[in-house]
Amino acid sequence: MSSAAVASPQFVWTDAYALGYPQMDDTHHEFVETVNAMLVASDDEFPQALDAFADHAERHFKQEADWMNGTNFPAADCHIDEHDAVMKSVRDVQALVKSDNPKRFEIGRSLAQELVRWFPGHADYLDSALSQWLSKKAHGGAPIVIRRNVAGSATTG
């Protein structure tokens, strides 16, 4: 079964997601791009887009775990547990997409839509704390983030 991409809102990077730790912001930008690729993929393209996201997420979450463990980040366990829960869902959906389940692409796209919903809260709460922690460790203070073209936002720390 091959169809055109399901009409979905695109997931687009915005400065609202910037946290002020450049390596993390770059990784998060890639996260947004790989989730968006799943949202706009045709059925034929979807398995490859899902696999690309899974590869990205493995690297992304390992990078953050290494930062947390290497700096004794106090909330590491909670943060890593959340990443592990996301990866379990991704692996479960990868297996389903490889099956003959007639709803496999619908379920796959629902994962992508859930990641769109999940990411801003995760970044605002868990990743922003890590960004500040890493910046304080490296520079002695929290980053100041300039967010352009974001309604209701000028700068935050």
Residue 4 lies in a domain: no
Residue 70 lies in a domain: yes
CATH number at residue 139: 1.20.120.50
* Mean pLDDT estimate for the chain: 89
Residue 8 lies in a domain: no
Q: Which residue has the tokens 């399901």?
A: 6
Return the percentage of the chain with pLDDT > 90, whole number: 77
Percentage helix, strand, coil, to 5, in the chain?
70, 5, 30
Any long-range contacts for 27-36 (C-beta under 8 Å, 24+ apart)? 27/59, 27/60, 27/63, 27/64, 28/119, 28/123, 28/127, 30/56, 30/60, 31/56, 31/57, 31/60, 31/119, 32/119, 35/11, 35/112, 35/115, 35/116, 35/119, 36/10, 36/11, 36/12
Residue 7 lies in a domain: no
pLDDT digit string, tens, across residues 112-150: 999 999 999 999 999 999 999 999 988 877 767 777 665
Count of domains in the chain?
Answer: 1
Do 157 and 144 form a contact (C-beta atoms < 8 A)? Answer: yes
The arithmetic mean of pLDDT across residues 105-115, rounded, is: 96
Residue 10 lies in a domain: no
Reduced to 3 states (helix: H, G, I; strand: E, B; else coil), residue 22 is helix
Residue 9 lies in a domain: no
* Domain span holding position 113: 15-156
Residue 6 lies in a domain: no
pLDDT digit string, tens, across residues 26-54: 999 999 999 999 999 999 999 999 999 99
With CA atoms as reference, report the closest residue to 12 among 138, 119, 127, 134: 119
Residue 55 lies in a domain: yes
